[in-house]
Structure 1
Amino acid sequence: MTVRLEGWLNRRWYGRPGALWLMWPLEMLFRGVAALRRRWTRAQACGVPVIVVGNIAVGGSGKTPAVLAIAKHLQAAGYRPGIVSRGYGGRASHYPLLVNADVTPAEAGDEPCLMARRSGLPVAVAPDRVAAAKLLVEQCGCTVIISDDGLQHYRLARNIEVLLIDGARGFGNGHCLPLGPLREPVVRSAEVDLSICNGSPKVALPAYLSAHVMTLDGDTLVNISTGERCAVSDWPARRRRVRAIAGIGHPPRFFAALAAQGFDCISQAFPDHYQYRAEDLQHDSNLPLLMTEKDAVKCAAICPPDSWMLPVDARLSSAFYQQLEGLLSKPI
């Protein structure tokens, strides 16, 4: 039922609103509350530069791979980056929570656990991102903070805002919630320092946006139980018929990526941040099960033996990183 509702909403949000026009008064209320909240929120600094990576549309736009790519680049450039996140889907006994190898997705959320494991960098989660950022600065010696999905968390003062845009869906019908998919009006995109388009834009974007195109590369499957690795190009032709699941912001992107690499998928979408049960992963067939790395973080203990994840890496141009470092070099 939840997936069907999400599908209906997405068709309205990224097409003609139809019956959602009845929500226009609620959209006006939402926009008013969002504007007041931004105006009256008092920003607090954490002592080091802060880069906020986020979007103005709900759903997946590639924020997690972008955060990891930016963090990796800054680390190579001599910075000591740390990552803060809300930790959506997790419930910890205390906050802020420093994510280490013993912390589970049930405590910290799936994306923070993924980022900590992939990057090896300090990651802290808390509803109060200011507290999470100060923890990383004071206890981990971080010299720059990257706030994942923090564009609307105005309590954390920021030096650089990086906007992620879904190249396939853009800003949808251009309306704010609940009439459209936007957390803030489209004009908010004119205020950011840098913008990234996940994939070449397939829809019209505002003329003032000069977005850097990001590609997501994933060419190696990893067995979730054993760690065995297999290049997609070496995957046997007789095993190209697979079952694919995704509980991410925009599952069709994952299914399309698999199809583009020659897989014949029986696809099943789950809600974003879905808490999987063992029975969700079972199937009458003996087909291999493929999933995203974000899903695999939560499914490692319950997935069947023939289950594989496809990790992806974000590729950004040198021009993007040059602009980022130029902005970062400015005095706080």
Structure 2
Amino acid sequence: VEGEPGEGPFPNPATVGEILTRFLDISGLPKPEVLESLAGSCPDQDQRNLLLGMASRATGHALYDGFMVKQKRGLIEVLDECPSLQLTMSKLVEVCPRLQPRYYSISSAGLTSPDQLHVTCTVVREKQYGGRVFEGVCSTYISKLEVGDNVRCFTRTTGFKLPLMPSIPVILIGAGAGIAPLRGMMQHLDGVRRQRRRIGQNMLVFGCRRRDEDFLYEDEILGHTRDGTLSHLLTAFSREGSEKHYVQDEIRAKATEFLTVLNMGASVYVCGAGDMAAEVRRAIVQVLMKHVGASEEKATRFVDTMRKQGRYMQDVW
């Protein structure tokens, strides 16, 4: 594909393969108006009616939601379902959304790994109706990388940072791949400790399904507890007991230990899914109510004040 330099949405010249793999989101969910546009290029009446039905503003919502959204179908699956669809390259470029960047927290510290950048990634593979497997675009790409491959990436600034003074205690709370930025923080504190500088009493609250299957960086974390980088380690394994036990439950169960660090003026960092972060916040409010005697309003205001002061930070998705 060639054109005048600087023209068009892609670098030129560019191969069709480059456009399909680097610039167009062919796996992404096409909007109803895209399906309506594609219907005009579909000579088979039944297949055209399927596309128009999902695009209908009056009756198409349920069909679109059931056929496309819930089954995570992209343009590739639309082509499979509508083999008569005559899709030209120019039409594909016109209707296909652009591939958007995926953001991952850096899970290493420049102090201890100055020449490396670590990423912790959960590879998305979900079985769909009919035996089809939905694969995450970026996580699958990362999983297939080999040593020596070049990766197109960039960094952006974030406010999810440790206090400037390493002597200030921190409480790190994460579940699953939410350990990523927390691991980088622990590595940084470990590097500071190795420089014989004073660090605070630090706590990690980590949760996953099973200790023997997905306790990410277990050996490294246990090493931090032995060398003093972590003074407190609380863990929650949600699939090991008769009842599910999550990080918010562990905070409530170990409220005295949690409050000991919090009352030292600790900063709190939460990383994980949005629902988990909301439950953690609720658990902290409940701990303050039960063990400090604060009203719900006062406990909530305390956490809100921490957030405004930059002492309660979240990295959620």
Q: Which has the larger radius of gyration?
A: 2
Q: Normalized per residue, which structure has more helix?
A: 2
Q: Does the alignment reach a TM-score above 0.5?
A: no
Q: TM-score, normalised by structure 2?
A: 0.32
- TM-score when normalising by structure 1: 0.30
